[in-house]
Amino acid sequence: MPQMNASVGLLPLPRPLMTGEVLDAGFRLFRASILRTLPYSGLVVLILELPTLYAILFSRASLGSSFIAAYYLPVAHATAFLFTVPVLGVIMLRMFAVANGQRPRFRVEIRVALKRWITGIIATVGAFAIPVALAILGPAFTNGLSSGAVFFLAIVLFWPTALFVVALPAFWCGGLGPFAAIAQSLRISLRRSWRMVGAILASLCMVSVFVLLVSIIVGLMSPIFGRADLFLSATVQSLLYLVVGAFGVPYVLAVLIVAHRDLELRHRVRREVRT
């Protein structure tokens, strides 16, 4: 199959796809758009890593406010999340243009992302509400549980996550409002959530391999650095995560775009058959 370029696109899909075909189409979209999205995905990961890097390099006393010092990590990560929303929007708009065989327009993408910034926050929270809630509240509920029980609980929570995660491409690529995108995601995914669970698990496994590789590299380098160079070790780890995330974010978003179009096509075909 030929690679996509400015005149040949992946969308619209010719027919409903199997789970493996969704992953394959997502990878082809990722490969076709990686050079155009890499700076933005790197910026997303850098913004998310800045609170951790600041906490490593500087003391909390330098923040000035006692409230900010006490709640630095939640406040810093929430602020970083707000700034990543329009950048994620630019990435998805650029990928969607490539998927349709169109030439990406930087000014148009920036204008749309900034115009829909506030509503994009609502759509992003709706799409990733369960993973974010699990990351924040998880330690309070999983204390005392074995690692196997925690893993099983995480697998079970993939199902409700799969119902809402395509709200992100529905908002940015489908042009819907935040609540309409969340409602459409629930409607088209309700009877086919297992497809999204399979796609999410496969994508996370692929990205997790590289994350594990970074952890192994840092673990091997730690004895070389020694205790006196813990800051350097943490900085190198953050930089490696930056590289992995710069490639991982576009891949996951590409799979979401293809999965959303596939679910939307399946839902439309089902309605036509019923009528």
Q: What is the pLDDT of residue 167?
A: 93
Per-residue pLDDT at 222 exceeds 60: yes
**Dihedral pair phi/psi, residue 172, rounded to 5°:** -80, -40
Average pLDDT, the chain: 80
Per-residue pLDDT at 254 exceeds 50: yes
State the pLDDT confidence band at 3, using cuts at 50, 70 and 90: very low
- How many helices and strands, by DSSP H and E, does the chain display? 12, 0
Per-residue pLDDT at 166 exceeds 70: yes
pLDDT in tens, 240-253: 778 888 888 999 99
pTM attached to this predicted model? 0.83
Average pLDDT over residues 89-105: 92
Do residues 238 and 49 lie in contact, with contact meaning Cβ atoms separated by under 8 Å? yes
Least trusted range by pLDDT, from 3-17, 91-105, 125-139, 209-223: 3-17
In whole angstroms, what is the distance from residue 76 CA to residue 71 CA? 8
Per-residue pLDDT at 54 exceeds 70: yes
Closest by Cα among 261, 241, 251 to 204 = 251
The continuous run of DSSP H or E covering 73 comes out as helix 72-99
State the pLDDT confidence band at 4, using cuts at 50, 70 and 90: very low
Q: Which two tokens stand for residue 48?
A: 């998310």
Per-residue pLDDT at 137 exceeds 70: no
Do residues 36 and 104 lie in contact, with contact meaning Cβ atoms separated by under 8 Å? yes
Least trusted range by pLDDT, from 21-30, 65-74, 157-166: 65-74
Per-residue pLDDT at 27 exceeds 80: yes
DSSP 15: S
